[in-house]
Structure formats: C-alpha cells, structure tokens
Structure 1
Amino acid sequence: MASIMNRLLRRNLSTSLRLGVEGPSATAGHDGGMDLWRKLSFFVAFPAVILCAVHTYLREQSHPHEPPEFIPYEHLRKRDKRFPWGDGNKTLFHNPHTNALPSGYEH
C-alpha cells in the first residue's frame, strides 16, 4: 500500500515540476470551485439564514405568550423526593411562565 502511494506522489510531483508549478495542488484547478462556493455562500446561504431568522422572529411575535391551561394530572409533575437545589420543588432550569409546579403555575 505504501509503495503505491509513493509511486502516485512521485508521478504527481514529477508532472507538476515538468509543468513548472510549485506543487501538486496547483494543477488541480480549484480556483473556479472556490469562486463558486464563495458566491453560493454570499448570495444563497447568508440571505437564507437572514430570511429564516426574520421569519422566526415574526412568528414568535405573533405567538401568544400565555401558558397552557393547567390540568392537575396525577402522573405529571410527581415529586418523590426533593431536588437538591433551591426550595426543592423547582427543576434546575425552571421557568415560571412555562413550567408548572405540582400545585399549578406560580402567578
């Protein structure tokens, strides 16, 4: 396997030296591909990201920010033992607007 790799590298190096270039990558012709990807990034990808961000922001603004109705199901929000932080009743990433306690929302 190593001998095949050495032969390929020698052949590629000798071809590039005959052509008067400084390495095997100079003969590959990557300038057109790089230019294509640069144009795609600036004119397709970045505008698409900006459009998605604006769309998400506008949808979030029109979304109602009220929590859903609290229904005290027995199998949800069960506390067999206290959490080791805070008052022991709230989860680690507790949000009072969206996460209900066993007795209901905090407001």
Structure 2
Amino acid sequence: MALGRLSQALLKSSLTQSRRQLSATAEGHGEQAARTWKIVTFVVALPGVAVCMLNMYLKMQQHALHHEQPEFVPYSHLRIRTKRFPWGDGSKSLFHNTELNALPNGYEGNDE
C-alpha cells in the first residue's frame, strides 16, 4: 500500500513539473509565433491584396474602353416582373446597373 501511494505521489510531482516546463516553453513560443504572423501579415498579405486590387482596377479600366452595350432582345422568358420590387420605382433590381441591366422594355436612356 505504501509503495502504491509513494509511486502515485512521485508520478503527480513529475507530471506537475513537466507541465510547468511545457507551459513555460509554450509561452515563449506563442509570443514568437504571434510576432512572426504579424510580420507576415504586414509584409506579405496586405501588399499582396493591394497588388491584386490594383491589377483588377487596371483590367476593369482597360475593359471599359472596349465595352459596348449588347443589343436588347425582348425575350419573353427574361425580365419577368410578377410584382414590383419594394425599393425605388419597383422595376429595378437592388443591384441595378443602368449600362448592363435591361428593364423589361429595354435599356434606360435608349429611346429607340
């Protein structure tokens, strides 16, 4: 009986001591890892996002120079309005683009 209690006490003390050592090393490692990820975020990620945004903006500007409005064809299965939208004049969708999205009777501003 005494041997069992002694072995349990030794086991508990060794586990407690190893936990303290692990937590001390993990604390230093966590601070270093956080610092590394902070540097990676500011040096790699944010400039990468900025370059992607600039690339998309320049491509959009180039595309806008060559873009023509497609011809309006009044297909019966497109632009069906069974009830009015609850915003604006009720005929335009929430994300309506006057240059790209036609209304049921044609594009806006084209009086043909």
Determine the C-alpha separation between the residues in 1 that align with 2:18 and 2:101: 68
2:62 corresponding residue in structure 1: 62
Specify the structure having the higher radius of gyration (Cα).
2
Kindly tell me: are residues 32 and 83 of structure 1, through their superposed partners in 2, closer, same or farther at Cα, counting changes over 3 Å? closer
Deviations 1:80-104 (A, max 9, x none): 2333444332223323222111111
Kindly tell me: are residues 56 and 75 of structure 1, through their superposed partners in 2, closer, same or farther at Cα, counting changes over 3 Å? same
Kindly tell me: are residues 83 and 48 of structure 1, through their superposed partners in 2, closer, same or farther at Cα, counting changes over 3 Å? closer
In structure 2, runs of 5+ residues without a counterpart are 1-11
1:100 lines up with 2:98 in the alignment: no
In terms of fraction of residues, the more helix-rich structure is 2
What TM-score, normalized to structure 1? 0.64
**Counterpart residue type for residue 91 of structure 1:** S
Q: After TM superposition, what 4+ stretches of structure 1 lie above 4 angstroms from structure 2?
A: 14-17
Given that 1:83 and 1:89 are in contact with CA atoms closer than 8 Å, whether structure 2 keeps it comes out as yes
In structure 1, runs of 5+ residues without a counterpart are 1-7
1:50 corresponding residue in structure 2: 50
Q: How much has 1:72 moved relative to structure 2?
A: 1.6
Given that 1:96 and 1:105 are in contact with CA atoms closer than 8 Å, whether structure 2 keeps it comes out as yes
Determine the C-alpha separation between the residues in 1 that align with 2:36 and 2:87: 54
**Counterpart residue type for residue 44 of structure 1:** V
1:87 corresponding residue in structure 2: 89
**Counterpart residue type for residue 103 of structure 1:** N
Figure out how many residues of one structure are paired with residues of the other and give that number: 94
RMSD: 3.1
What TM-score, normalized to structure 2? 0.62
